[in-house]
Amino acid sequence: MDTTTVVDLGQQALWMTVLISAPLLGVALFVGLFIGVLQAATSINEATLSFIPKLAALALTLAIVGGWQVGTLVEFTRALFQRIPTLFT
């Protein structure tokens, strides 16, 4: 196994991590930003006010895109396992 193969596998793994985590991180970012603006506009400084909506939005997002995330990860893992015999030749 040469260095280009290792770098390629690492790049694919990092890209898969970005693809799988992007929906949840994006939703958490936008909900947190919206709640932060709302708290700044109303001068309400309650810590749970930002936590509960983020938790609900993340649960809803996970329910919507969770199947896609698992399917994508299974597909990547299957392709990686099928590639194992060619790595050491």
Across the chain, mean pLDDT equals: 92
pLDDT for 29 equals: 96
- Those residues whose C-beta lies under 8 Å from the C-beta of residue 16, and which sit 6 or more positions away, are 72, 73, 76
Domain layout of the chain by residue ranges: 15-87
Pair of tokens at residue 85 = 């015999």
Entry pTM: 0.80
Mean pLDDT in residue range 26-38: 94
In this predicted structure, what is the pLDDT of residue 7? 93
Summarised one tens digit per residue, pLDDT across range 41-78 is 988 888 788 889 999 999 999 999 999 999 999 999 99
